[in-house]
Amino acid sequence: MPSDGYMRYQLAGMNEGDGAMAYTDELEPLLAFERELRRKIALRIAEEAGEQPGGAPSEHQIAVADEAIANWIEAGEEDQDMRAFRPIGPLQQLLADHALICERILDIRDRRLS
């Protein structure tokens, strides 16, 4: 993860003698990871429902994933305590990971607004 700050620069497309640096926002990889987790949640729910998961989730599967994400958030921290002495399934782990990455994204956005 990049350190705190609004942006980071990384070397990209370096050719001989070319010292150009590409601008990269620190949110870009986090947003990409959030989308990937959302896709994985959709496919996991489809798999648990007995559907044959394809390479990319359908719009319906994404909508079901969005509903599961919203329900996970609404359930509250008490039901999602990762330190609890009960096993957590693959879907719950994906939902917990998604919640954490969304918190990080919101923290960065809030920091930018202050």
The DSSP output letter for 20 is -
User: Across all residues in the chain, what is the average pLDDT?
Assistant: 80
For 69, residues 6+ apart whose C-beta sits below 8 A from its C-beta are 38, 41, 95, 98, 99
3 state DSSP class of 8: strand
User: What crossing angle do the helices spanning 59-75 and 90-113 adopt, rounded to 10°?
Assistant: 80
Higher pLDDT: 49 or 82? It is: 49
E strand or H helix that includes residue 62? helix 59-75
Read off the pLDDT of residues 11-47 as tens digits, 9 standing for 90 and up.
344 444 555 667 778 899 999 999 999 999 999 999 9
Mean pLDDT of 86-94: 87
